[in-house]
Amino acid sequence: MLDSILGTLGISLSGSGGLLWGSLVIIVGALVGEAVFRWVGLPRIVGYALAGMGVGLAGYGMAAGGLSPSLRVIVDLALGLLLFELGSRVYLRWLRTNPFLLVTSLAESLLTFVAVYLVMRWAGLDGPAAVALAVLAVPTSAAVISRVASEFGAAGQVTERVSMMTALNTLYAVFASKLLLAWLDLDTGQNPVQAIVQPLYVVAGSVLVAGLLGYAVARVARGLDLRNENSTLLLLGLITLALAVTQVLNLSTLLVPLMAGLWLRNTTERPWVWPRHFGTAGGVLVLLLFVIVSTSWSIAALAAGAGLAILAMAVRLAAKAGAVLTLGWFSGQSIRQGLGLSLALTPMSATALVLFADLQVSHAPFAAQIAPIALSAVALMELLGALAVLAALRGAREITPQRGA
Amino acid sequence: MSLETFSTSEPLTLGVELELAIVNRHDYDLSPSSADLLRLMAKRKIPGDVKPEMTDSMIELSTGICRNHADALGQLTEIRDALVDCARRLNVGLSGGGTHPFQDWSERRIFNTPRFHMLSELYGYLSKQFTIFGQHVHVGCPGPDEALVLLHGLSRFIPHFIAMSASSPYVQGTDTGFHSARLNSVFAFPLSGRAPFCTTWDDFGVFFEKMTRTGVVQSMKDFYWDIRPKPEFGTIEVRVLDTPLTIEKAAALAAYIQCVSRWLTVEKPFELAEDDYLVYTFNRFQACRFGPEGTFVDPKTGEHRSLREDILATLARLESHAIELKAEAALDYLRLELERHGNDATWARQVHAREHLLPELVRQQCQRWSGELQID
């Protein structure tokens, strides 16, 4: 009825819906974020997540229709920026001077995969579904780490190690998910050659685009001071262009920015310094990312999958903690740092959501099968992940007194 | 607390202490990793010691007792190699330099020991600003009176030590115009400056008694003088040098101090007088501000000359002592440095003029410290 009244005046809510609701979400998100930071001392992203949770629980969230393409673009871009920044802070030669880091990384990812797979099978899921959920559980979300660390000025061994291990387990997870897609294709009787070529194409193509992006950024940095606003605009444009190309060529929007950052960091010795999140534009995108990911909260999904999701996440934490704590001593880590690192590895949501969305696009019915558990896990970890990272960094005493206050 | 007795030590032996900056490998800002570094170093066997300093991005290494230049360089090399190896395992870098070119002192954290917390309480922001890095050189003395005589003799050469070691032109991202801006932080402390003109330990004891009676001072550690007696080691400690960018320079400067000490002890070329200190602060300022191009006023004759001239003249006078102490290589090194860049501060400015990026300067400083980057 409201619609018809407004219709006579020429006002259509559904038409202008996007901008209206979008702006409201931004405002509410920012306000809640500030309130949470000022009064409870938690990272602002918890506030953004609460705003998204509200939207999701009210029924307008992801469970209603999955991750729509327009929202997917925002998620890709925001996560892309964060992955690029993360990659640019990962010095691969450190894996050579401290070999146990690589061992720990492989151990935690493998253990997580195996543990979640076994638990899901025990809970009654069939092979492919268990494998898919296990793959989604492997990565750590670069978004939360990056955001909490920069908001609270974190510095120290836990911050360094979690960045390294996040970059690595994101790489493993993307490879694994491409293999999973190939396997599902073979299962459904697809052309075997295509099923095998597809993941190879994605990886090789992503590496190529990433290399080009990294090279382009390096060229820009030669001539321009990256700390000034105009240059960061250029950088932002380059990354967006790369992501657009990635989408057109059907490559991995996670691999490209991460590998571009890695390429940049590891092919030159000269330090890279640019404003965090590329300045204000990036900051807004990050806010939107957290809100969107949190709209995965839905009563229906929770009802169907919350129990198993909680179980899977608990097992995931145990697996990661187990690997980190037993192997940590060999890589020069203290126990306190080991505990901190285990907690800091728990966020999962943004990366897992993108992998899930890829699954939805190519194998919709299969994705619908695991949707309740996957979305519940994503929703839970979005909220808990930020808190865990903050607890980890505070516990390991890696937060600057001024900004952490 | 009364003045401790002066221990015995073998004359003209050396001890070198160096404070280093710990930086991350991404943007080369200071990294709060001293506790981690100390934990890894605890498992290593080194000829000296590593200790924490006021804030947790600083670490101090010290050699054992060194007989001569080669001994000092050898010990420093061993300790440096162990530290660099541990730092690589933690993905952090180690850099010399009297200051960190762009760190924000307000972000520093006090290292968690009672003494440092007490100092932080007392000195407020000065303690965080004290994230500066210096070289301290201990010289062994046969007795307390000789120690004080040597102390006052060496005071004439403080500008030399400052100018040759200066490596702190940048503070908080800006060129200060100074060669050694570090010393400006030291001078802010109330008990900085120089020792009173006493030439016997008894006289010094009287002074110390007065200072402790007023409650201003509890122990010798509270004096932040440029040269300070260290009774428990039986040495005097020259504290005025910036940490150089390489251990080679650190060892060479220690040997220079050793040669000057020998010259003063054996030949007694100058007669000590309180009036020598009239030009002290002027000369010191000139050295901090202009390095080797600063003006040096001769305390005896009042003649003005450039510091570079006075250093070169001194190097010439030290030849015979250098031969006795096997320090010719050290003096040659210092002469060459003086000709090429003058000092590390000038080198730093040249790098910045080329690269326009202070993190890149710190990166190159780390490379020079670890020995990966050799400049000609």
Q: State which H helix or E strand residue A168 sits in.
A: helix A157-187
* Confidence at residue A282, expressed as pLDDT on a 0 to 100 scale: 77
Distance of residue B40 Cα from the nearest chain A Cα, in angstroms:
7
Residue A293 near residue A75, CB atoms below 8 Å? yes
How much is the pLDDT for B124?
78
Could you give the angle at the alpha carbon of B102 between the alpha carbons of B96 and B104, nearest 5°? 110
Q: Which residues of B232-267 are buried (b: 16+ CB within 10 A; e: fewer)?
A: ebbbbbbbbbbbbbbbbbbbbbbbbbbbbbbbbbee
Mean pLDDT score across all residues of chain B: 92
Q: Which two tokens stand for residue B317?
A: 């006078």
Residue B332 contacts A, CB cutoff 8 Å: no
Q: Going from the first residue of chain A to its last (405 residues), give the mean pLDDT of each consecutive group of 10, the final group possibly shorter.
A: 66 60 82 90 86 81 68 88 89 91 94 95 91 94 85 86 93 91 81 81 92 89 76 85 92 92 90 74 82 83 87 94 91 90 92 90 86 89 88 86 47
| CA–CA separation, A224 and A226 (whole Å) | 6
Three-state SS at B124: coil
CA distance B164 to chain A (A): 28
Query: What's the token pair of residue B175?
Result: 């060129």
- Confidence (pLDDT) at B266: 93
The pLDDT tens digits for B59-118 are: 999 999 999 999 999 999 999 999 999 999 999 999 999 999 998 877 777 787 888 888
Per residue in B281-310, pLDDT tens? 999 999 999 999 999 999 999 999 999 999
Contact A160 B24 (CB under 8 A): yes
Cβ–Cβ of B36/A157 closer than 8 Å?
yes
Inter-chain residue contact B39 with A331, CB threshold 8 Å: no
Partner A contacted by B44 (CB < 8 A): no
**Up-side HSE of residue A393: CA atoms within 13 Å toward CB?**
32
B188 inside 8 A of chain A by CB: no
As beta bridge partners, residue B15 has: B138
Please give the Cα distance from A245 to B181 (Å, whole number).
51
Could you tell me which of A352, A387, A378 has the C-alpha nearest to residue A295? Answer: A378
Nearest to A341 by CA among A161, A137, A85: A161
Cα dist from A329 to A158, A279, B281, whole Å: 13, 38, 52
pLDDT of residue B190: 81
Taking a contact as any Cβ pair under 8 Å apart, which residues of chain B between 200 and 219 contact chain A? none
For residue A90, the chain B residue with the least C-alpha distance is: B26
State the burial class of residue A30 (Cβ atoms within 10 Å of its Cβ: 0-12, 13-18, 19+): middle
Size (chain A), residues: 405
B33 contacts A156? CB cut-off 8 A: yes
pLDDT at A405: 35
Interface test with B, best of A270, A333, A336, A393 (most B CBs within 10 A): A270
pLDDT score, position A10? 67
State the alpha helices, DSSP H only, in chain B. Answer: 34-41, 69-89, 114-123, 125-129, 144-155, 158-165, 182-187, 201-213, 247-267, 280-290, 307-317, 319-325, 328-340, 344-355, 358-370
Number of CB atoms found within 10 A of residue B86's CB: 23
Residue B156 — φ and ψ, nearest 5°?
A: -60, -30
Kindly provide the ipTM of the predicted complex, given to two decimals.
0.85
pLDDT at A225: 74
Residue A292 CB neighbour total at 10 angstroms: 25
User: Are the Cβ atoms of B33 and A157 closer than 8 angstroms?
Assistant: yes
Q: How far apart are the first and last CA of chain A?
A: 50
Q: A268 CA to chain B: closest CA distance, Å? A: 12
Instruction: Label residues B294-322 b or e (16+ Cβ within 10 Å = b).
Output: bbbbebeeeeeebbbebbbebbeebeebb
Whole-angstrom CA distances from A43 to A46, A141, A348 are 6, 15, 16
Q: Which residues in chain B are contacts of A400 at CB distance < 8 A? A: 107, 109
Measured between CA atoms, how close is A160 to chain B, in angstroms?
Answer: 8
User: What are B145-181's pLDDT values in tens digits?
Assistant: 999 999 999 999 999 999 999 999 999 899 999 999 9
**Beta partners for residue B227, in sequence order:** B238
- Inter-chain residue contact B90 with A401, CB threshold 8 Å: no
Of B81, B351, B359, residue with least CA distance to A269? B359
Q: How far apart are CA B267 and CA A371, in angstroms?
A: 90
Chain B's closest residue to A400, CA to CA, is B107
What is the spatial distance between Cα A250 and Cα B236, in angstroms, rounded to a whole number? 72
Indicate the pLDDT class of residue B191, thresholds 50, 70 and 90: confident
Helix (H) or strand (E) holding B47: none
Distance from CA of B77 to the nearest CA of A (A): 20
Q: Would you state the pLDDT for residue B187?
A: 85
The model's pLDDT over A154-206, given as tens digits with 9 standing for 90+, comes to 888 999 999 999 999 999 999 999 888 888 888 777 777 877 888 888 989 99
Q: Cβ–Cβ of A270/B360 closer than 8 Å?
A: yes
Contact B321, B262 (CB under 8 A): yes
Condensed to tens digits (0 to 9), the pLDDT of residues B124-148 reads: 787 777 778 999 999 999 999 999 9
Binning pLDDT at 50, 70 and 90, where does residue B352 land? very high
**Dist. CA A393–CA B298, nearest whole Å:** 56
| CB atoms B91 and A91 under 8 Å | yes
pLDDT-derived band at B348 (thresholds 50, 70, 90) equals very high
Interface contact flag, A273 B359, Cβ < 8 Å = yes
pLDDT at A279: 67
